[in-house]
Amino acid sequence: MLQILKRNPLAAAIAVLMHLVIILLLVFGVDWLNPPEQPKSTIQVVQARVIDEAKVREQVQRLKEDDARQAEAKRTAREKEEQRLAELKRKQTQERQRLAELEKQRQVEDRKREEAKKQRLEEERRKKTAEQQRLQAEKAQKAAEAKQQAEEQARKEAETKRIAEQKKREEAAAKKAAEAKKRKAEAEKRRKAEEARLKAEAEKKRKAEEAKRQAEAAQKAREAELLAAMEAEHNARERDRYIIQISQKVVRSWLRPAGISDGLKCTLRVRLAPGGSVLAVSVIKGSGNGAFDRSAEAAVLKADPLPVPGGTLFEQFRDINFEFDPNKK
């Protein structure tokens, strides 16, 4: 009550003044405005009015109770408003906390995806390095084997030549001991034998060079096959990687239609231009739900442009088919 009087001193003064006016009216009535005429009498009459103090106290008490009720109503309303504001502030704090948690969760998921991508790229780099090392080791081994074969062939040829020379010396010694009449024939025989030997050596050398050329050609063919296989494997990995990136971007652009259940998927055919621009999209294997299939086509158009490789590998992406499965992680 005192707080209300302190906050509204003017209203309190007006209320007190009105109370005093009411009390005066009750005490004196309204006849004081028109004073009664005194009768002409020799008897002096003393006039008096009885004041009903109980009614005055009742009236004063009623006014106090009204003031108290008004003060209580204002206090109750103020407390309710304070409670409402406190509840609103609590809900705002909870909402800020919830949004902060969601943002933190999104950042954690982004970091996980980035780490997984780095690990996958590092694994591919290690595999490629190991394959190159294996091919280099295989090439070095084959070169060593070819060198060893060449050395063995040279050794055999030297041994053959040594034997031939030894035989020649023996024949020469025998011929020297032969009769003189046979010298001309022997000389002619030696000449023919020398020609035959030189011809045989020339033929042997030609065959050796031909075998060497064939071995080198076979080696080059094997190396070309290995390089072609490596390039084909690399292109296959690159194609799978870009198909995964395309599928992930389309899934991120997908808006789930109302009433669509989980587990649906369909196969899409997409025609692309260089740079990843979508020229056309169609469903070649539906999910059985038209709304889901249309939402998959809309997701492809929304994801335009799609990630595609450059160079000759892009020719494999002009017309592609891939499975749209938003439930696949």
Task: List pLDDT tens digits, range 249-264.
Answer: 999 999 999 888 888 9
Report the pLDDT averaged over residues 225-249: 87
Q: Name the more confident of 137 and 286.
A: 286
What pLDDT shows up at residue 306?
93
Mean pLDDT of 35-57: 61
Tokens of 161: 């030549």
Q: What is the model's pLDDT at position 32?
A: 43
Q: What is the mean predicted confidence (pLDDT) over 110-119?
A: 87
pTM: 0.36
Q: What's phi and psi for 273, nearest 5 deg?
A: -105, 160
Report CA-CA distances (Å) from 60 to 7, 18, 64: 22, 11, 6
User: Which pLDDT belongs to residue 6?
Assistant: 65
Do residues 296 and 324 lie in contact, with contact meaning Cβ atoms separated by under 8 Å?
yes
pLDDT in the model for residue 230: 85
**Which residues are CB-contacts of 294 (< 8 A; sequence separation ≥ 6)?**
257
> Rounded to an integer, what is the distance from CA 4 to the centroid of its chain?
64
Integer Rg of the chain from CA: 58
d(CA 269, CA 273): 14
pLDDT value at residue 242 = 92
Do 48 and 29 touch, CB atoms closer than 8 A?
no
Nearest-angstrom CA–CA distance, 229 and 240:
17
